[in-house]
Amino acid sequence: MKAQPFSAQVRQQPNLATIDLHGEINAFAESELTEAYRIAEQTDPGTVVLNFTDVSYINSTGIALIVSLLAQARKSRRRLVVFGLTDHYTEIFKITRLSDFMSIFPDEASISSELV
Amino acid sequence: MKRFRQKPSSEILTETPPPVVEELAAPKTRTDTRESPIAPDDPLLEYFVNSQGFIELEKLQLASPALESLRSDGIKITMPLISQGELIGLLNLGPRLSEQDYSTDDRRLLNTLVTQAAPALRVAQLARQQQAEARQLERMEQELRVARVIQETLLPKELPQLKNGKVSAFWRPARAVSGDFYDFLEFPDGRLGIVVADVTDKGVPAALVMATTRTILRATAERLVSPGEVLKRANDLLGPNIPRNMFVTCLYMLLDQETGELVYANAGHNLPYKRTADGVVELRATGMPLGLLPGMEYEEKQAVLEEGGSLMLYSDGLIEAHNPNGEMYGFPRLKQFIVDYQEDRDELSLIDRVVEDLWQFTGDGWEQEDDVTIVLVERQKVSRDEDAAAASLEPDWQAVAEFEVASEPGTERLAMDRVGEIVSELGYSGTRLERLRTAVAEATMNAMEHGNHYQVDLPVRIGVYTSAAALMVRITDLGGGREIPEAVQPDIDAKLAGLQSPRGWGLFLIDSMVDEMRIKSDEKHHTVELIFNTEGDKL
Q: Quick one: pLDDT at residue B103?
A: 86
Partner-chain contact A88 B495, CB within 8 Å? no
pLDDT at B428 over 50: yes
Q: Quick one: pLDDT at residue B7?
A: 36
pLDDT tens profile A41-79: 999 999 999 999 999 999 999 999 999 999 999 999 999
Q: Quick one: pLDDT at residue A2?
A: 46
Q: What is d(CA A102, CA B185) in angstroms, rounded to the nearest whole number?
A: 41
| Close Cβ partners of A93 (under 8 Å, ≥ 6 residues apart) | A82, A85, A99, A102, A104
Q: Quick one: pLDDT at residue B24?
A: 28
Partner-chain contact A3 B413, CB within 8 Å? yes
Q: What is the mean pLDDT of chain A?
A: 92
Q: In Å, how far is A64's CA from the nearest CA of chain B?
A: 5
> Which of B31-40, B360-369, B518-527 shows the lowest per-residue confidence on average (mean pLDDT)?
B31-40
- For B498, the closest of A28, A57, A71 (CB atoms) is A71
Distances (CA, A) of B210 to B113, B269, B421: 59, 15, 52
- For A67, the closest of B410, B412, B502 (CB atoms) is B502
Q: Quick one: pLDDT at residue A66?
A: 96
- For A60, the closest of B410, B489, B505 (CB atoms) is B505
Partner-chain contact B445 A59, CB within 8 Å? yes
Q: Quick one: pLDDT at residue B169?
A: 93
pLDDT tens profile B123-167: 888 899 999 999 998 888 888 888 888 778 888 988 998 878 889
Partner-chain contact A67 B157, CB within 8 Å? no
Q: Quick one: pLDDT at residue B149?
A: 80
Q: What is the ipTM of this complex?
A: 0.93
Question: Beta A16-25 vs A47-58: how paired, if at all?
Answer: parallel
- For B495, the closest of A71, A86, A88 (CB atoms) is A71
Q: The CATH number of A7-105 is which of 3.10.310.30, 3.30.750.24, 1.10.8.60, 3.30.565.10?
A: 3.30.750.24
Q: Quick one: pLDDT at residue B162?
A: 86
DSSP B328: B
Mean pLDDT of B403-409: 89
Q: Quick one: pLDDT at residue B276?
A: 83
Does A100 contact B at CB distance below 8 Å? yes
DSSP string, A4-55: ---EEEEEEETTEEEEEEEEEESGGGHHHHHHHHHHHHTT--SEEEEEEEEE
Mean pLDDT of B455-483: 87
Which domains are delineated in chain B?
A: 19-129 (3.30.450.40), 155-379 (3.60.40.10), 398-533 (3.30.565.10)
For B286, phi and psi rounded to 5 degrees? -105, 155
Partner-chain contact B410 A88, CB within 8 Å? no
pLDDT at B420 over 80: yes
Residue B250 parent element (H or E): strand B248-256
Residue to mutate among B149, B359, B436, B492, with most A CBs inside 10 A, is B492
Q: Quick one: pLDDT at residue B383?
A: 56
For B178, phi and psi rounded to 5 degrees? -130, 155
Q: Quick one: pLDDT at residue B479?
A: 82
Q: Quick one: pLDDT at residue B346?
A: 63
Q: What is d(CA B539, CA B512) in angstroms, rounded to the nearest whole number?
A: 15
Judge contact between B54 and B107, C-beta under 8 A: yes
For B314, phi and psi rounded to 5 degrees? -155, 160
